[in-house]
Every structure is written in structure tokens, then in C-alpha cells.
Amino acid sequence: MKKSITKSEGILWSIALPGFPQLLVGLWFKGTLFVLLEIIINVQSNFNQAIMLSFLGETQKAANVIDYQWLMFYPCLYMFAMWDAYKIALTREEEYAYLPFVLSAYFVTAGLMLSPKVYILGRFIGPVFFPMMCVIPGVFIGLALRSILLRFR
């Protein structure tokens, strides 16, 4: 068991599976909770099947198998677990460092809700790829907002 992790290590392990960084540093209850919640939401929403279908180019089939009511929980759990891993790795507090994570959770959730209606160049993007694309504006707007708040505090 490691006593500490770096910020990038925490984020990358959390991308692999929420809860792994917490387990890595010995936060057994929190890590186990994140892993179990991820598995429950993943199974109940049929997310793995939708990921597989999306990567095979079957985005409409992916949209048909997804349980959107369950999957709506996923972005906030995923980003909160990632934020928690990042926070664990901090050696000193960074003001407003949570903003890119929070805004990404908001944008991905909105992207998931809008995904059944989104076509780009006439192609249906689906409930996996479009929400993933929504991480980008979430991170950039979060970083911009953080920069503004730090400048004018």
C-alpha cells in the first residue's frame, strides 16, 4: 500500500476505475464504495454493452440498450471520485481546483441528456461518444472560471 500518489496518478487510476486511487492509499471504505457504486451504475445502465457497441460503430444500438435513468448518476460519481483522488494527492490546498471536475460533471450530464438528438455531419454520435466530447468544454470552462476567480479574489 502506498502512502501517497501524484495528481496525475490519481486521475489516471480513477479514469481506469473510480475508487482505485483511494484503495491505493489505504482509504478502504471510500475506495470500496466508489468501486461498488461504479459497478452498480455500470451494470444497471448497460453501460459496458453501450461502450462496446459504440466502438463497433453501432451508436444507435448503443442508445437503445442504455438505461438513461441509471446512467445519469455516472458522470457525477465518476468526476467526484476523480476529484477526490486529485485532492488526496495535493500537498497543499489549491483554491478552486475542483472547478474543472465540477463543470465536467455538469457538461457530461447535459451531454448525456442531449445525446439522443445529436448528429454531427449527419452521423449519430450516441450516448457514449457525445458525453465524452462534453468533458472538453467542461474542463476548459472550469479552468477559465478558476483563473478568473483567482485573479479577482
Residue 95: pLDDT band by 50, 70, 90 thresholds? very high
Domain boundaries in the chain? 7-152
* C-beta pairs of 92-95 under 8 Å, 24+ apart in sequence: 95/146, 95/149, 95/150, 95/153
Look at residue 4 and tell me whether its pLDDT is greater than 90.
no
Distance CA 24, CA 112 (A): 30
Contact at 8 Å (CB) between 32 and 19? Answer: yes
- Of 119, 108, 48, nearest to 73 by C-alpha is 108
Alpha helices in 17-134 (DSSP H): 20-24, 28-45, 47-55, 59-65, 68-71, 74-89, 99-114, 126-133
List C-alpha distances in Å: 87 to 11, 33, 35: 10, 17, 18
Q: State percent of the chain over pLDDT 90.
A: 96
Look at residue 90 and tell me whether its pLDDT is greater than 70.
yes
Bridge partners for 124 per DSSP: 119
Which residues neighbour 114 within 8 Å (Cβ) at sequence distance 6 or greater? 130
What pLDDT shows up at residue 153? 83
Look at residue 2 and tell me whether its pLDDT is greater than 70.
no
Average pLDDT of 20-30? 96
Bridge partners for 120 per DSSP: 123
